[in-house]
Amino acid sequence: MDSPVRADAAAEHENQDVVPPGYPAGFGVGKGERDALLCLSTLRGITPRRLHTLAWEVGSARACVGAIRSGRAGSAADRDWIRAADATAIRGQLAACNGRLLGPHDDRYPAAFTDLLHDPPAWLFARGLVLEDGPDRVAVVGARKCSSLGREIAHDIGRRLGGIGVQVVSGGAFGIDAAAHRGALAGEGTSIGVLGSGLDVLYPRSSAALLLEIAERGMLISEYPPGQRAEPHHFPARNRLVVALSRAVVVVEGAARSGSRISVDHALDLGRDVFAVPGPVTSPLSETPHGIIRDGGTLIRGADDLLADLGYVSALAADAVAPSGLSDVEFRTWRALATTSLPDGIARTAGLAVPDAVTVLIRLELRGLVRGVGGRYERTLAGALGASGA
């Protein structure tokens, strides 16, 4: 059997050093070319990398369609898909969700994507504000299944970046991604969500409201045509766009072998700065950030460090101090909370009776300085940063 995979691999190997960056002149320019891009976007077999090579071999999007139709490139399934593709229908779906198509020579196609030497997206679907190359962008990524503290940190970083006009890029997923987006919106900033599904498929469903708000006050972008569901293999590909768009990548929490690790590998390939927020050495969620730090990433303790390292402000974060305005028992209780602890353990360390310690903990919790987690208590970000609890 003639294997298109092997043929692809051979072609890629031969051309590895000769394929130029970006796309040939005229690629995706004009109505016919744009229709060809829409048709190409429905293919699910051919990789962005292979398509990029093909574009330089044949010179135009229409020629790419021809090559796939004739079977010279892509898989047999791609051939069926390209025959079934209907550019007009896709354009209709796109219009229905206020989406736009961006070709690689479009003014609004972010120049940053040409940093992706081997697999720049040949098209983009965008929804919301116009993507400009002016403002700085920073990616904040991490675990979907994160801790409360991780979520607070991501939210705080997003808020502070948004507050000084830096755009916050993330993947729109649960957990850290969502917290970073929310933070950016809370800081009156702009957020960019890069989706692993079509622009009209708001995944995860429970974040639909957040994604719609991002579309309104920032933008959503995607490589996938409208109606395309999120598939597991879309997310690593999506991560390369998140990183390429940004000048730096911040990883807040991530288990071993996480998607965040893939983002960091992209960042190293593209020469982006990498930052990581450490956590307890015992926590599985610290594995990716700690791995990054050991590999030379920059340790940050929160938004202050990040803003200083990126040159937006001059001073580093101050060392953690106790929140102001605490009474004696409150201070003793707060100090006993160096690590996440049980109420009886806190009471013992603070030298209090358990009911008294519980009273103080609830008072501190109502002031937002501590929180209960699974039957234990820990300091919140506000508590740890020494914010006034008044």
Partner 1 sequence: MYGRVTGVTVLGVGGHLVTVEAFVGRGLPSLMFTGLPGAAVNDARDRIRPAVENSGLEWPLRRVVVNLSPGNLRKEGAGMDLPIAMSVLGATAQVPARALTDVAFSGELSLKGELLPTPGVLSVAIAAARAGIGTVVVPSANAVEAAQVDGLVVVGAASLEEVAGFLRGTWQAPRVTHRRAAPTPGASLDLSEMRGQHQARRALEVAAAGGHNMLMVGAPGAGKTMLARRLPTILPELSREEALEVTQIHSVAGLLRGDGLLRERPFRAPHHSVSIAGLLGGGAAVLRPGEVSLADHGVLFLDEFNEFRRDAVEGLRQPLEDGRVVVTRAVGSVEFPARFTLVAAANPCPCGYDGDPRKGCSCRPDRVQSYRAKLSGPLLDRIDLRLRIPRLTKDELLGSEPGEPSAIVRDRVQMARERQRHRLLDLGVTCNAHLPGPLARREARLDPAAEQLLARAVESMALTGRGFDRGLKVARTVADLEGAPSVSEAHLAEALSYRIGFGEQDGLARAG
Judged by the rule CB under 8 A, the positions of this chain that interact with partner 1 are 144-145, 147-148, 151, 174-175, 178-179, 204-207, 255, 280, 282-285, 340, 342-345, 348, 354-356, 358-359, 361-363, 365-368, 371-376
CB nearer to partner 1: pick between 75 and 286: 286
CB nearer to partner 1: pick between 45 and 175: 175
Two structure tokens written together for 248: 């730096």
Q: How far is the CB of 336 from partner 1 (least distance, A)?
A: 14
Q: How far is the CB of 240 from partner 1 (least distance, A)?
A: 23
- Distances in whole angstroms, Cα of residue 343 to Cα of each of 82, 334, 336, 363, 375: 63, 12, 10, 14, 8
Residue type, 143: A
Q: How far is the CB of 43 from partner 1 (least distance, A)?
A: 28
Buried b (16+ CB within 10 A) or exposed e, 256-275: eebbbbbbbebbbebebbbb
239 phi-psi bin (left φ>0, alpha ψ -120 to 50, beta other)? alpha
Two structure tokens written together for 180: 């970073």
Q: How far is the CB of 355 from partner 1 (least distance, A)?
A: 6
The Cα 65–Cα 87 span in angstroms is: 12
CB nearer to partner 1: pick between 118 and 144: 144
CB nearer to partner 1: pick between 4 and 150: 150
Q: How many CB atoms lie within 10 A of CB 43?
A: 22
The Cα 19–Cα 52 span in angstroms is: 8
Q: How far is the CB of 151 from partner 1 (least distance, A)?
A: 8
CB nearer to partner 1: pick between 274 and 276: 276
Q: How far is the CB of 156 from partner 1 (least distance, A)?
A: 16
CB nearer to partner 1: pick between 155 and 160: 155
Q: How far is the CB of 343 from partner 1 (least distance, A)?
A: 6
Q: How far is the CB of 377 from partner 1 (least distance, A)?
A: 10
DSSP state of 387: -
Question: DSSP readout, 298-359?
Answer: EE-SSHHHHHHHTTSSSPPPPPP-PPSS--HHHHHHHHHTSS-B-HHHHHHHHT--HHHHHH
Residue 212 has phi, psi (to 5 degrees) of -65, -40
Q: How far is the CB of 321 from partner 1 (least distance, A)?
A: 23
Buried b (16+ CB within 10 A) or exposed e, 46-84: bebbbbbbbbbbbebbbbbbebbeeeebbbeebbebbee
The Cα 209–Cα 156 span in angstroms is: 20
Q: How far is the CB of 212 from partner 1 (least distance, A)?
A: 13
CB nearer to partner 1: pick between 203 and 312: 203
The Cα 86–Cα 89 span in angstroms is: 5
Q: What are 140's strand-pairing partners?
A: 250
CB nearer to partner 1: pick between 82 and 357: 357
Do residues 350 and 329 touch, judged by C-beta distance below 8 A?
A: yes
Residue 101 has phi, psi (to 5 degrees) of -100, 135
CB nearer to partner 1: pick between 316 and 373: 373
CB nearer to partner 1: pick between 179 and 303: 179
Alpha helices (H) along 187-277 = 208-217, 234-245, 259-270
